[in-house]
Amino acid sequence: MQTLSIGLLILSLSLKVSFGENLNESLLRAATDGDAETVNALLEKGADINAKTAGGWTALFSAARQNHFEVIEALIVKGIKVNATDKEGRTALMWAADLGHLATVKALLQARADVNAKTGKHGYTALIYAAEFGHTEIVKSLLAAGAQVNLTTTAGETALIAASRGGHAETVKALLEKKADLTPKAKNGRTALMEATEENHDEIVEMLRKAGAK
């Protein structure tokens, strides 16, 4: 019954392609839509699993941004390149960390996504993205997977500085538990303590001072 179902789906896909939609475009669209069955059928038919859009996105990027977990699992099983980058130098892990998709982050880490990869222009890591938006559970998962807590962006910002500016107390706590350095100054001259003070994040100011920030 399953074989018949797949056969009918592939026939349907053949009809679509005959009207001008190529396999790779269909794969990217199916991944965006979260249609794991169609993704698998397109791959069986010969779609390029690592095909990219003009912006450098593969099907994995589309699925990661939308948090389509079944599609992500299917693509990983089929061998998609988990560390591919888009034109901004972002990986699928960075997108998932930025958008707060914990299950996707965990799946990508299990598939050996590079936890310390940096974007080309701004030097962001997945950890800095997650910290900036206060995704504490993702921060913890990244740190457990070996994320370097004190890496900086090209502007000199660490995850701790980003989290402190954003007022994310639980994220700051998680970073401090991993011995985040209190002393770095970004290129604007501000430390984590300065950012927290400027933004009136009193709880974070107290946490940083207790940890030794001056």
- Looking at residue 152, which CATH number applies to its domain? 1.25.40.20
The torsion angles phi and psi of 182, rounded to 5 degrees, stand at -85, -15
The answer to whether residue 1 scores a pLDDT higher than 70 is: no
Contact 38, 9 (CB under 8 A): yes
Q: Residue 111 and residue 107: Cα distance in Å, rounded?
A: 6
What is the average pLDDT across 139-166? Answer: 98
The answer to whether residue 171 scores a pLDDT higher than 50 is: yes
> Domain total for the chain?
2
Task: State which of 81, 108, 130 marks the end of a domain.
Answer: 81
Q: Model-level pTM?
A: 0.89
Residue corresponding to tokens 């592939």: 10
What is the average pLDDT across 187-196? Answer: 98
What pLDDT is attached to residue 121?
87
Q: What is the CA radius of gyration of the chain?
A: 21
The answer to whether residue 6 scores a pLDDT higher than 80 is: no
If asked whether residues 117 and 58 sit together in one domain, one would say no
Tokens for 104, please give them.
Answer: 């996707």
Angle subtended by helix axes 36-45 and 69-77, to nearest 10: 20
What pLDDT is attached to residue 4?
39
Domain that includes residue 199, residue range: 87-214
If asked whether residues 99 and 183 sit together in one domain, one would say yes
Residue corresponding to tokens 């349907």: 12
The answer to whether residue 105 scores a pLDDT higher than 70 is: yes
Handedness of CA 136, 140, 145, 150 (dihedral sign): positive
